[in-house]
Amino acid sequence: MGGGLAMIAFIQDQVVAQFGWLTPNEFIDGLALGQLTPGPILMLAAYVGYKAAGVTGAAVAAGAAFLPSFILMLAILPVLERVRRLTWGMGPAVVGILAVSLFRLAPHALPDLFAVAILIVSLVALIIYRLGPLRLMIAGSSLGALRAHFRVVRAFTP
């Protein structure tokens, strides 16, 4: 339950807090870039590996991201039905892990009221108006680019 998304909190704790390979903002950037691709957690792992050790690091991190679960699945394949019945308590644990990750990332992902406003408008558009996430990502990135452009222009005007 939770799949790769449950790994975000663990990845964040290791690469940001423990090893310091990425800043919180770099981690959020990698997470956002990964959401644009199939296999976002694999892309996040490759991004972290690349930032830490270049192309070789990206290849090792991408392979290592799924190797343990692959080996575990091979090991439990003979008793898979019994293991499936044991997962009833995993749902709340995954929700808790995702909530912790959300609260850790929130201050860096929402640094000001503009970002909070984009989040609220995006949630309303997604839930009420059923707009697709691709349109929302394009709109949000366009707004962010426009904001950055006007900040630069304003900085150079006397």
Residue-wise pLDDT for 74-85, tens only, equals 887 887 777 666
- 104-128 burial, b at 16+ Cβ within 10 Å, e below that, comes to bbeebbeeeeebeebeeebeebeee
Q: Look at the alpha carbons of 109, 10, 33, 49 in this order and tell me if their dihedral is positive or negative.
A: positive
In this structure, of 41-50, 102-111, 143-152, the range with the lowest mean pLDDT score is 143-152
